[in-house]
Structure 1
Amino acid sequence: MQLWLGSWLAGLKAGAYAVDADGAIVAVNHEAETLLARSADDLLGRDAHDLLHRDGNGMPVPRSQCSMMEAFMSRRTRQEDLGHFERGDGTLLTMSWLATPLRISADEMGALVVFHEHEGAEPSQQEPALSMELLSELERLALLAETTTQLTSTLDVDEALDRLVGLVVPLLADWAVVDLISDNDEVWRTVVAHEEGGRLVRRKDLEGAMPPIPQVSPQPLSRALRGAGSTLATPATYQGAPDSGIAVEQARLFDVTHMHTALIAPIRGLREVLGALTLGRSDRPEPFTSADIPLLEDIARRAGLALDNARLFQRQRKVAETMQRHLLPQMPPVPGLEMAARYLPAPHASQVGGDWYDAFYLADRSLALVIGDVVGHDLDAAAEMAQLRNILRAYAWTHQEPPSIVVGHVDEAIPHISEVELATMIFGRLETDATGQWTLRWTNAGHPPPLLVTYDGQSRYLTDGHGLLLGTHVSIPREDATVVLPPQSTLVLYTDGLIESPGRSLDDGLERLRRNAASLARRPLEGFTDLVMERARPDDNDDDVALLVVRVPPKDGPPT
C-alpha cells in the first residue's frame, strides 16, 4: 500500500500525505518532508492531527474544532486558504490545504491531504498555489473513491444504478442513460435520468426495450454495446439515414433531451459486456471533450464490476428460489379445512434454508402435519432438509403407527442414510370423526411448541409430547400428545426464526407470538398468516422462518 501511494504522491507538485482510517500517516512525498522539516521516518505511523494541526498561535486544535478532521470524518472534499501545521523545528507553517477521501485498500477509506505554503507567508522558499489541474485530479480521485464505495456496498442492480446516476448527475452531466444487455442478448434502456429543480427525475417515456445490437454499425452506442470503446457523440452523429434501430432511438434521445454533447462508454463485467453508460450535457454550455473520456471509462469500469457482482448474486437467488419452489410443498385440498403456509429466508443467506413445513395425506387418509428445522440456513441445510423430509414421508406412509414411533424410526435412520446432523421437528396426525370433531395427535422432537388459538381469542401453547431433537444418538422413548381442536380454532406451527431475537429472551418471543395470534383469531386465514409473520417476527431476526397454519371448520362444517 505504502509503495503505490508513495509513488503516486511523488508526482504531485505540492506537499502531500495520506492517512488511514485511524488518521495515521501511511505515505508522504518529498515536498511535504521539506515543508514540514520532518523526515518520512518521523511522519509515517504518527497521528496527523496530533502531530501537525495547530491554530494561529501554535496551540493544538481540539479534534471537535478542527476543520480538517471534520472533512476527514465526514468523508468529504474540503479546501481552506489558511491553516497551520507545526514543523519539526517547532515553528509554524502557514499554508493552504485540500483534503479529500482516498481509498487506500479494498476495504479501507482514508484521506489525502495536499498543502502548500501560504502566499502571504514570509519564508524565502514558497511553493506555487494548488493548480486547477491538481484540483481536478483530486476531485477525480474523490469521485472514483466514492463511486467504488457506493457501488460495491450493494448487491441490488436497481439500487446500484440509482447510486451510479446520483454520483454523476449533476456533478458531471445533466443526463445519465444506462443501457443494459440481458442474458438473452436483448438491450433494455434501463435508466434515463435528468436533474430538475435539484432532484433526479426518471424519464420513463424514454426507457424500455431497445432494438438488437447491430454487428457492424460504427455508431457510438452500437460500438459501446459491442465493447468496442468509448466515444464522443453529438446530435450530428445521428443525423442522416439511420443504419440500425438503435440509431433511430439515439436520434430520438438527442432530440427529446436536447443534449448537445454526450460521452458513451461500454460497461464491462469480468467476462462480457453488460451494457453502456451515456453521460450527456444539455443545460450547461460547456461541451464534453475527448479529455473527459478517461474519467467516464474509470466510472464505467467500476459500475461494470458492481453490476457483475449484483447480477451473479441475483442469478444465485433465482436458482435458490427455483429450488425452494420444488422443496416446499403445495397444500393438499382437505374438505372443510383451511391451510396456509409461508416461508421467509434468512436476510443474509440464500433464498432457501433448513426450515420447512409439510402437509400430506397418509395411507389411512388422515392428514400429516410437519414443521421442522435443520441446523443452518444455506443451500447445504436446504439439501439436508429435503433428505429428512423424504425420509419422514416414506416412514409415515409405510408405518401406520403413532407419531412418536414414526419419528423414532426417522431418528434411527438419518445417521445412516442422510447428511443431517441435528434437526428439530413436530410430526402430527390430524383426523376427524363422524361428528366433525378434529383431533391432533403429535410428537415434538425439540421444536418450539404448537400454538392453539380459539375463535374467541383464547390461546395456549401445546407443550405436551416434547422430546429430544433429532441427531443426538440418545435412545429415549418418545411421547405422543393428543388435543381436540375446537370448532373454528387455528393451529399455528412455526420455526424458531419467528420468535427468537438476539436482544430478547425466548419467553418474550413466545409471548409476542401468542398475543398477536390471539388478536387475529377471527381474521381470514390468509390475512391471519401474513399478519402473524409481520407482527411476531423480530426486526433483528437473522434466521429463516417457516409457518404452517391450519383452521378447522365450524361444528356444522362439511365432513371430510
Structure 2
Amino acid sequence: MDDVAAPGREGTPLPGHEARCGALLEETLEKLRTSAVMIDDDGLVVATNSAAQSLLGRKASELLGQDFHDLLHRDRYGHPVPRTRCRIRKALLTGDTRHGDADWFACGDGTLVELSWLVTPYASGAGVTGASGALVMLYEPEQPEIDPGDAEHSAPLTELDRLALLAETTTQLTSTLDVDVALHRLAALTVPRLADWAVFDLLTERDEVRRVLVMEHKDGVLAGRDDLQGPMPPVPAESLMPLSRALRGAASSIAGPSTYQGPPDSGIAVEQQRLFNVTGMHSAAIAPIRGLRDVLGALTLGRSRRPEAFVPGDLPLLEDLTRRAGLALDNARLYQRQRKVAETMQRHLLPQVPVVPGLEMTARYVPAPDASSVGGDWYDAFPLSAPAHALSAPAHALAIGDVVGHDLEAAAGMAQVRNMLRAFAWSNPDAAPSAVVARLDEAVLHTAEVPMATMILATLTLGEDSLWRVRWTNAGHPPPLLITHDGQTRYLEEGRGMLLGTGVTLPRLDAVTVLPPRATLLLYTDGLVESPQHVIDHGLDRLRRHAASLAHRPLSSFCDSLLDQVRPSDNDDDVAVIALRTPPIP
C-alpha cells in the first residue's frame, strides 16, 4: 500500500473514536477497485486510496489538506480551470451526484491525464470524519471500440455534420478573448475531423508573418510541432503560390507537394515546401482568415494519413470556418489592444513608492483577470511638507483604497480620490489622518464622480527612541496587518469609521501604534482576501497564517509570495498591496 491517507487534514492524528472511524474510512476506500478521493465542504482532500495515488502519481502527503480543484483540475492545455466552470465544485456546493465523461487532471510529474469522474455527496456522524463533503471517483474514460477495417479518420461529413461543426465553432470561438486559446480550439475542431494537420499563419500589425501554431493528429491525440513554428519570410506581392495569395486575401485554394516542386518564387514558398516534406501532407486546403477590415492570416488543413485528397467542394466549409475564426481573432486582438492601453494607464496612475531612509517599502498591483484590467484599487506613499514646528522630522503618508467598480470609470475615480488626498495631506502636514479623510469625504461627496470608496490613511514618523510610529484612520477598509520578525501577527482593528461617499457624517477616529524592529506592516485591498465561496474572515485568517510563515522573507519576495499563495483563484477583483519593513534595533 502507498502512503497511508489518514482522513484528518494535513495528516493530523485523530484521537479515540475519530481515529477508529478514520481507520474504517481508510479501509473502506482501499476496498474500492477504482481511484477514490474524499473532499470536505471546502473542497480540501481529507482521504485518498492507493489507487488514486497511483493514478495521479502523487503520494498521500501531497494530496491531503490540498484544494482538490486548485491542485488537480486543468484544461486540455494544462491551464487551471476557473472555479465557476468546475462541475465537480458545483456538485459539491449543491450536494448533487454528477458524472463527467472526460476532464484533465495534473499528475505529480507535471503531465496531464484525461479521466472520467463521478462525484457523490456524503455525510456521516460527528467528528472530523463525519463532516459532510463528497466522494470523487476517478477512472480512465471508456474508449470506443474501433473496427480494424475502419480508417484512422472519421467518415465524410454529412450536411447535418457540417452545420453542427459550424455551430460548435461559433460557440467555441466566441467564448474566448485569447488568441492562442481560439486557435487551439479551432485546431481541435478540425483535426482529425477534416484533416490530419492544422497550420495557422498570422499577420502581425507590422505585416510580418508568423507561423503561430502547427497541430498534428498522432496516436489518437493532438500534438503541437514547435519545430515548424516561428517567423516566416515576408509575403511578396507578385507571388502566385497558394499561401501567399491567401495571406493577401485571395480566395481559398487546394495545394499539394507538386505545387512546390518547381523553383520557389519566394522565401515563404521555401517554407511551404519544407512543411510538405516534413509533414508528409499529400493534399492541403488553404484559406485566408479575414477580419472586419484586414486579412489576419491563413489556415492550412493538410492530409497525410487519410488517403482522399481535398476537392473544391471542401472549400466552402473551410471558408465558413475561417470567417468565424476571423471575427473571433478580430475581437481578441481588439480586447488585447484595449487591455494594453488599460494596463499602461494603470501603471501611470499608480506611483512609485518613495525612498524613506531607515525603512524598506514596496508595492504591488495585480489587475482583475476577467475584467478590463483596471479598476478602483490603488495605493500611495509620499512625503508630507515640513511641519509647522521645526523640532520633528518630516513625516510620510501611506495610503491604500478601493473605489467601487472594475472599469476605466473606477480607475478615473481612483485618480481623483488619490490626487485630492495628496493635496489635502500636503497642505495640512500637522493634521491628523482622520481630519484629512473627513475633508476628503466631503470633497468626494460634492466634487468627485465617485459613488463610494474605502481607504486607509496613515502617517509614519520616527520617534526619539529610534522606533517608527504609525498613526492611521480607516474608512471602511480591511484592517492593516502587522507581522513581527518572529511571526506573530495582529490586525490593526482600531481607528475604524464609515467609508467615503455615503453622506453620513460621523466622527472619524485615529489610532497609533509603535512598529517593532524588523516588523512588516501590510496594507492591501479586499481582492486579496475575498472569495465568492467563503466569508471574508476565512480570507483574513488565511492571509494572517501565510504572512506569519513568510515573516523572514525579503520584503519583495514576501509580497510576491503572498499574492501567489493567498489571493483566491475564483476572485475576479484587482488587488493592490503596499508593505513596509522597519530596520533592526539601532
For structure 1, which segment, 378-387 or 278-287, has the greater mean C-alpha deviation from structure 2 after superposition? 278-287
Alignment match, 1:241: 263
1:511 pairs with one of 541, 546, 552: 541
Amino acid at match of 2:470: L
Alignment match, 1:105: none
Q: Check if 1:358 corresponds to 2:380.
A: yes
Alignment match, 1:542: 572
Q: Check if 1:176 corresponds to 2:205.
A: no
Cα shift readout 1:488-512 (whole Å, capped 9, x = no counterpart): 1111111122222233223222222
1:536 and 1:340 map into 2 onto residues whose CA distance is: 18
Q: CA deviation at 1:531?
A: 2.5
Amino acid at match of 1:182: T
Amino acid at match of 1:258: G
Q: 1:376 aligns to what SS in structure 2? A: coil
Q: CA deviation at 1:550?
A: 1.1
1:177 and 1:158 map into 2 onto residues whose CA distance is: 13
Q: 1:194 aligns to what SS in structure 2? A: strand
2:442 and 2:276 map into 1 onto residues whose CA distance is: 72
Q: CA deviation at 1:348?
A: 2.5
Alignment match, 1:384: 413
2:364 pairs with one of 342, 346, 351: 342
Q: 1:256 to 1:471 in 2, by over 3 A?
A: same
1:330 and 1:377 map into 2 onto residues whose CA distance is: 22
Runs of 4+ in 1 over 4 A off after TM superposition: 132-135
1:200 and 1:504 map into 2 onto residues whose CA distance is: 38
Q: Check if 1:405 corresponds to 2:427.
A: no
Alignment match, 1:429: 459
Amino acid at match of 1:351: S
2:244 and 2:534 map into 1 onto residues whose CA distance is: 57
Q: 2:158 aligns to what SS in structure 1? A: helix
2:180 pairs with one of 133, 153, 158: 158
1:462 pairs with one of 479, 492, 506: 492
Q: 2:167 aligns to what SS in structure 1? A: helix
Amino acid at match of 1:210: M
1:171 and 1:187 map into 2 onto residues whose CA distance is: 27
Amino acid at match of 2:276: F
Alignment match, 2:303: 281
Amino acid at match of 1:327: L
2:535 and 2:248 map into 1 onto residues whose CA distance is: 57
Q: CA deviation at 1:237?
A: 1.6
Q: 1:163 aligns to what SS in structure 2? A: helix
Q: 1:133 to 1:536 in 2, by over 3 A?
A: closer
Alignment match, 1:419: 449
Q: Check if 1:393 corresponds to 2:422.
A: yes
- The percentage of counterpart residues that share the same residue type is 66
Q: CA deviation at 1:196?
A: 2.4
1:463-502 superposed matches below 5 A: 463-502=493-532
1:473 and 1:441 map into 2 onto residues whose CA distance is: 25
Cα shift readout 1:219-278 (whole Å, capped 9, x = no counterpart): 111111111110111122223232222222222222222221111000011221110000
Alignment match, 2:169: 147
2:477 and 2:234 map into 1 onto residues whose CA distance is: 55
Q: Check if 1:520 corresponds to 2:542.
A: no
- Provide the TM-score with structure 2 as the length reference: 0.70
How many residue pairs align between the two structures? 428
1:371 pairs with one of 393, 400, 421: 400
2:306 and 2:507 map into 1 onto residues whose CA distance is: 81
Structure 2 stretches of 5 or more lacking a match?
A: 1-99, 103-153, 387-393
1:186 and 1:435 map into 2 onto residues whose CA distance is: 64
Q: 2:214 aligns to what SS in structure 1? A: strand
Amino acid at match of 1:293: L
1:135 and 1:178 map into 2 onto residues whose CA distance is: 23
2:215 pairs with one of 189, 193, 196: 193
Q: 1:133 to 1:245 in 2, by over 3 A?
A: closer
For structure 1, which segment, 262-271 or 409-418, has the greater mean C-alpha deviation from structure 2 after superposition? 409-418
1:355 and 1:204 map into 2 onto residues whose CA distance is: 40
Q: 1:554 to 1:74 in 2, by over 3 A?
A: closer
For structure 1, which segment, 416-425 or 366-375, has the greater mean C-alpha deviation from structure 2 after superposition? 416-425
1:516 and 1:251 map into 2 onto residues whose CA distance is: 56
Cα shift readout 1:86-143 (whole Å, capped 9, x = no counterpart): xxxxxxxxxxxxxxxxxxxxxxxxxxxxxxxxxxxxxxxxxxxxxx999622222222
Alignment match, 1:529: 559
Q: Check if 1:314 corresponds to 2:314.
A: no
Cα shift readout 1:500-549 (whole Å, capped 9, x = no counterpart): 22332232222222222222222222222122223332333232221111
For structure 1, which segment, 212-221 or 537-546, has the greater mean C-alpha deviation from structure 2 after superposition? 537-546
1:361 and 1:451 map into 2 onto residues whose CA distance is: 22
2:308 and 2:321 map into 1 onto residues whose CA distance is: 20
Alignment match, 1:447: 477
Q: 2:399 aligns to what SS in structure 1? A: strand
Q: 2:309 aligns to what SS in structure 1? A: coil
1:54-203 superposed matches below 5 A: 136-203=158-225
Q: Check if 1:250 corresponds to 2:280.
A: no
Cα shift readout 1:185-230 (whole Å, capped 9, x = no counterpart): 2111111222222222222222111122222322111111111110
2:563 and 2:524 map into 1 onto residues whose CA distance is: 10
Amino acid at match of 2:426: W
Q: CA RMSD in A?
A: 2.1
For structure 1, which segment, 495-504 or 389-398, has the greater mean C-alpha deviation from structure 2 after superposition? 495-504
For structure 1, which segment, 482-491 or 545-554, has the greater mean C-alpha deviation from structure 2 after superposition? 545-554
Amino acid at match of 1:554: P
1:505 and 1:163 map into 2 onto residues whose CA distance is: 36
For structure 1, which segment, 177-186 or 132-141, has the greater mean C-alpha deviation from structure 2 after superposition? 132-141
Q: CA deviation at 1:434?
A: 4.7
Structure 1 stretches of 5 or more lacking a match?
A: 1-72, 76-131
Cα shift readout 1:419-453 (whole Å, capped 9, x = no counterpart): 11211110111121354211101111111111111
1:177 and 1:540 map into 2 onto residues whose CA distance is: 34
1:231 and 1:74 map into 2 onto residues whose CA distance is: 38
Amino acid at match of 2:448: S
Alignment match, 2:349: 327
Amino acid at match of 2:529: I
Alignment match, 1:39: none
